[in-house]
Structure formats: structure tokens, C-alpha cells
Structure 1
Amino acid sequence: MTRIDSTFARLQAEGRKAFVAYIMAGDPDIETSLAVMKGLPSAGVDVIELGLPFTDPMADGPTIQLAGQRALEGGMTLDKTLQMVRDFRAGDNDTPIVLMGYYNPIYSRGVDTFLAQANEAGIDGLIIVDLPPEEDDELCIPAQKAGLNFIRLATPTTDDRRLPKVLQNTSGFVYYVSITGITGAAAAEATDVGPEVARIKAKTDLPVIVGFGIRTPEASQAIASVADGCVVGSAIVGELASGKPVEEVLSFVSGLAGGAHSA
């Protein structure tokens, strides 16, 4: 079992929903993003999604695109992202870390080399948004053989014909994208999300976590109430972008986590 598997098994046994937080590695700078990352578990975060900055983030809205630009302009690299994970692991060996990004930096590094380095650093899972199931031999299968979860996205356009293909090699959890379009673009509605989560859960035993369009503790609670948990990214990244101190950002995260955990 990975840390992801263990965390969801524990939450299920406790009858609690998961709260997943996304931050961009190196935004607004390495020191600040590492400080936020280290503070996330105490703020109630069950799983950390760490964004790997990339020059062409096609699935991301302006908030996360700009975060990636800031990180890259500040000198953030794949190696420095892995070092950030090592620095986090020096004080926390329990909280799962999912690296979220695009395939190009991994392909450039070489899959086998990357997977060995990710394992050594302490990464537990991958979300690579531009690798469809048809390309599973490229990274998904090697990652699972290396002991990392490969988490797949399902969307409102993933119909019943497509869903089995999306689920076939997924592990850890299923990330349900609550809206069509890019990150941060609209608000998620529990009345829309609930039936879709039920449809997915009828086809898999994996937890279903909902992301995109969640910005408040109330929304966090509402979405978590119809799923196994929720993800917040753009709203947290926006707090960092506004220049707020680490403590205020973590207080904001704590409110969101409290919403999910009260569902």
C-alpha cells in the first residue's frame, strides 16, 4: 500500500472525507512554497498535490498558469521540485504527495530515471493530465510497477463508454473534474456533481475526489458531502499570489479543510 492507499483506508475507517490541497512548487518562491507545504498537514490537509511547473499548461486557468510562470522565472526545475519533496519528507513521512503536471519534463528526463528519483524523493502518486489511457504503456504502467499510484481524471464528458477505459489502470483515487474547461473557471455545484460521482463509484472501488471550482469552506463541505473528498487548488494559489503571509494562507486552507471534514 502507498501512503495514498493508507490515508484513504484510515479516513474511510474513521468515516471522514478527504481534503486535498494543490500548490505550485516554487511559487511565489521556493522558500515560501516549502513553508506552505510543510504547514499543510497541520492545517488539515490529508493529501498534497504538488504542481510541477511547465511552460505550456493547457488544462490550467490563469491563476495556476501564472503560478507556473512565477515558479519558472524564479528558477524552479524538476530537480528542485524533487528536492522540495525531500525537504518536506525530512519532517513528515506520512502525508501523501501527488506530483501533478505534464508529461514533457518527465519524458525529457527519461521515465525510468524519473520514477527512480520520484520514489527516492518520497512522491506517492502522479497526475499527468496530458497522457490519456491509450498511452498507459508510456508512464502509467511503469509508474505502478515502481510502486507509485497513477491517478486519472474523469470529467463531465467521460461517458459510460469511455469510463471503463479511464478506470482500467487507475489507482490511489479517481479525480473527478467537476466542470468542463480549465481550472478556476467556474463554481462546482453539488447537485451536478453527486450523480456523476455515484456513476463513477458504481464502476470502481477507488475513492472519488472532486476538484475544480471549489473556493470556500461551504463549497468544500457541499462537494465533499457527495464524494469521498475534495481538492482545492486555484483558490489557495490565489491566496499566495496576493502576497499574503504563510500563516494567513494556511489559515485559509484550514477553513477549507474544516468544510470538507465536516461533510
Structure 2
Amino acid sequence: MNLIDQSFARLKAEGKTALIPFITVGDPNLEGTLAIIKQLEKSGADMIELGVPYSDPLADGPVIQRASERALSGSTVTLLNCIEMAERAREAGVTIPLILFTYFNPVLQFGLEKFVTLVQSKGISGLIIPDLPIEEDEEVRALAESANVHLIPLVAPTSRDRVTRISQKARGFVYCVSSLGVTGVRTDFHSDIDSFLSTVREATDLPIGIGFGISSREQVKRFEGTCDAVIVGSAIVRQIEEAQVLLENPDTQEQGLEQIGKFVASLKG
């Protein structure tokens, strides 16, 4: 069984909602990313999204765009580096599911079959490719399923009649986008968010997760009753940005990690 499925089954039995932080690999640097992954698990993360830094991140707001810029400007962080980061995390004792978040162009350039084979061999359980629509994902989906790697789709309130089609082909969980537009901290969500989540729930037996804009314990709690997972990206990446000076200095790295960990623990409540 895929590690994502195992985790959701355990959390369901415990009556808990998964917390899934998103980070950008290479921000502030590769060694710092490894330390952050370990800290996130220690602080209560149930799964982690590993974001591949990309120069044209269509779904990402300014906070995550800046993280990509930092990762790409400090040193060349490649798709291969990001996949190998999962292996390094496993070797360091990380046991929770790791999900790779990447855009399609780097995957296409890497080679689809080679990419999926490597992802599976390095301990990655799921893939999110936000710019790969369901109408064009057949080859990647077939390769992922044969490798027991879940291709996790995004659905938005504007998906309307496509919600059922997307949800029925999903694996792992369905990633529900809480707001229109790109990622980023928000105070309000789409006006029909609860109706949208009900529509997705009716379309699939898989767990459903919600992300885009969630940044506080209050907002996490808002969705714990209706969703199986809450994804927090920009708010955590901002914590990393604010702790960057601490993280880059070996003498103060632990202080920076504790700052990030405290925020993640606060989201769990």
C-alpha cells in the first residue's frame, strides 16, 4: 500500500486531519531544506510537499515565487536535486509521506519514464503537477500507477462539471483549491467553499485536502470537520524567509528551525 494511503487510514482511525506543509527545496539551501524537513516531521507534519523551484511558477503567489528565486539564485537546484532530497530525508530517518510538487516542463525535459522510476526509487509517494490537465495526463498517470506513485489532482471552485471527472481519476487524495488565483495568505475563502467541498466529497471515496491561503490555526480548524487534510504553503515558506539569516548560519540554524517548528506546531493546535 502507498504510504499516503497508510497515513490517511491511520489518521482516520484516530479521528485526525492531516497537516501537509509545503516547502521549496533549496530555500535557503539544500542542507537547510533537509534540516527543515526533519523539523517539520518533529513538529507534527503528517506529510510534506517538496516544491521544485521553477522560474515561471504559474500557480504560485509572491511568497513562493521569492522562495524559488532564492533557491535558483543561490545555487543551481535541479529537479534531480529535489528528487534526491527525498532519499536524503529517508536516510536521515524521516518516515512520513513525501509528495513532489513540480511543473510539467522540467518533467518532460527529464524524461517521463525516467522521472517516475526515479521518484519511486527515492521514496516519494505522490506527485502534484498543477499545469498538467486531466485531458493530457494519461501517459504520466499510467507510469505513476505502475510505480505505485499517486498522481494527485487539483480541483477548484471553477472546475464545475470537471470536478467529478477529475476526482474519479485521482489517487492518494483530491487537492481542493480554497480560493481563486495563485497561492498566498488570505483572510477569506471562496464564497461557495463549503458547497464546493461537498461536491468533491460526493464525487470520490478518496480523502480530500484543502490548500491555497491557509495560514493560521483558526483557518486549519475551520476545515478540520470537512476535509481529511489541510495544506499550508505560503505561511510556512514565509516563516522560512523570515528565519533565513538564522538558517544560513550554523551557529543559529537551530534557533531558526525552532521558530519554524513552533509555527507548524501551532497549526496542529
Q: Which TM-score band applies after superposition, normalised by the shorter structure?
A: over 0.9
Quickly say closer, same or farther: Cα 1:190–1:62, change in 2 above 3 A.
Answer: closer
Amino acid in structure 2 at the alignment position of 1:247: E
CA change 1:164–1:190 in 2 (3 A) is: closer
Matched, 1:120 2:121: yes
Displacement after TM superposition at 1:46 (Å): 0.5
The Cα of 1:225 is off from its aligned counterpart by 2.5
Residue in 1 that maps onto 2:92: 91
Q: Tell me the equivalent position of 1:253.
A: 264
2 CA distance for matches of 1:222 and 1:192? Answer: 14
Maintained 8 Å contact 2:185/2:215: no
C-alpha contact (below 8 Å) 1:27/1:68 kept by paired residues: yes
1:109 is matched with 110
- Counterpart Cα distance in 1 of 2:188 and 2:204: 22
Tell whether 2:217 aligns with 1:217: yes
Aligned to 1:56: 56
Q: How many residues align?
A: 257
Taking the aligned partners of 2:165 and 2:80, their CA distance within structure 1 comes to 32
Percentage of identical aligned residues: 40
CA displacement 1:203-244 (0-9 Å, x = unmatched):
100111110111111111112222112110000000111125
Q: Which amino acid aligns with 1:252?
A: F
8 A Cα contact 2:164 2:200, kept in partner? no
Taking the aligned partners of 1:9 and 1:153, their CA distance within structure 2 comes to 21
Partners of 1:137 and 1:86 lie apart in 2 by 27
Q: Which amino acid is 1:105 matched to?
A: P
The one-letter code sitting in structure 1 at the alignment partner of 2:114 is: T
Q: Which runs of 4+ in 1 moved over 6 A?
A: none
Inter-partner Cα distance in structure 2 for 1:249 and 1:185:
16
Structure 2 unpaired stretches of 5+: 245-255
Cross-structure match for 1:67: 67
SS of residue matched to 2:138: coil
Q: CA contact under 8 A between 1:190 and 1:223: conserved in structure 2?
A: no
Which shows bigger deviation, 235-244 or 45-54? 235-244
Match for residue 40 of structure 2? 40
Unmatched runs of 5 consecutive residues or more in structure 1: 259-263
Superimposed CA distance per residue, residues 52-107 of structure 1 (whole angstroms, 9 cap, x where no aligned partner): 11111011000001111111112211121122111100133530000012011111
User: Matched residues in 2 for 1:199 and 1:137: separation?
Assistant: 24
Q: CA deviation at 1:185?
A: 5.4
Map 1:1-263 to 2 at 5 A: 1-74=1-74, 75-92=76-93, 94-159=95-160, 161-184=161-184, 186-189=186-189, 192-243=192-243, 245-258=256-269
Q: Deviations over 1:150-184 (max 9, x none)?
A: 1000101011x211221232100000000000000
RMSD: 1.5
TM-fit CA distance, 1:34: 1.2
Return the alpha-carbon distance in structure 2 between the equivalents of residues 127 and 106 of structure 1. 11
Other-structure match for 1:261: none
Provide the C-alpha distance between the structure 1 equivalents of 2:115 and 2:208, rounded to a whole number of angstroms.
27
Tell me the SS of whatever aligns to 2:68.
helix
**1-side partners of 2:60 and 2:13: how far apart?**
34
Deviation at 1:257, TM superposition (A): 2.2
Contact 2:185 2:235 in 1 (8 A): no
Give the Cα–Cα distance (whole angstroms) in 2 for the partners of residues 33 and 76 of structure 1. Answer: 11
Work out the CA distance in 2 between the residues paired with 1:33 and 1:71: 10
Q: Which moved more, 1:209-218 or 1:75-84?
A: 75-84
The secondary structure found in structure 1 opposite 2:210 is strand
2 CA distance for matches of 1:167 and 1:256?
A: 27
